[in-house]
Amino acid sequence: MTRFLRTQQTMAFPHGRLIASRDGVNYVLAPDGWDHLGGQRPKHAAVLSREEAEDWCEREGWDLHLLDEVPTPS
């Protein structure tokens, strides 16, 4: 199961960044797809429903199919 989170807003990312957590491994959505996020998830990341993650993608101009392409940890 994949959980989605949104980081806090910053000047560089006014709507935060999208994080996906799958099997305890975290990934951040980057211009070239999902990148492994080392360490623990950001402390103040807000949990998002799938619908909220879709809304975030639409607002930010990301393809919704990316939500189904979160890597499976090996």
- pLDDT for the residue numbered 3: 95
Residue (of 54, 37, 43, 48) closest to 5 by Cα position:
48
Contacts 24+ apart (CB under 8 A), 23-31: 23/72, 23/73, 24/73, 25/71, 25/73, 27/70, 27/71, 29/62, 29/66
How many Å separate Cα 56 from the centre of its chain?
Answer: 9
Model's pTM, two decimal places? 0.89
Per-residue pLDDT of the chain (74 residues; tens, 9 = 90+): 899 999 998 888 888 999 999 998 999 999 989 999 988 778 889 999 999 999 999 999 999 999 999 999 87
- pLDDT for the residue numbered 64: 95
